[in-house]
Amino acid sequence: MAYKKPLMVLVDEFSASGADAFPAILQDNHRGPIFGMRTMGAGGTVLGYNATAYTESFFRVTVSLMNRANPVQVPGFPAAPYVENISVQPDIVLDYMTRDNLLTGGAAYVQAFTAAMVKLVLGGSSL
């Protein structure tokens, strides 16, 4: 492991694809807490194709799925080793989509993730 300093990743429901994969890898390897809301759960590769001749159809097919190190159990889903649909569940849950954050430019959210990062840097567990 080349980088040994503390890591924390901020995620939300708009985190998709690589933004699903990166926190999943960090979480599976216990490299640092994931902070925010669950990711989109779009952890596969989807390709689009034109349908048969003489149609104007187009279809999309998932051609790969990201497998996690261990099956993940989250409410509403069976235990599975996938990011697709299940998403990455944060270790520290905090929604920034609040009235207070809207009115204050996200001040409460910034204070919360800054406090969590300071705790992590100073050696306390943020998990």
Interval 27-73: pLDDT, tens? 999 999 999 999 998 877 788 888 887 888 998 887 878 888 889 98
CA 113 to chain centre: 15
In terms of pLDDT, which residue wins out, 11 or 64?
Answer: 11
Specify the pairing of strand 80-82 against strand 67-72. Answer: antiparallel
Angstrom distance (rounded) from CA 39 to CA 22:
11
Return mean pLDDT, the chain: 89
Structural domains of the chain, ranges and CATH numbers in brackets: 9-95 (3.90.226.10)
The pLDDT assigned to 35 comes to: 97
- The pTM (predicted TM-score) of the whole model is 0.81
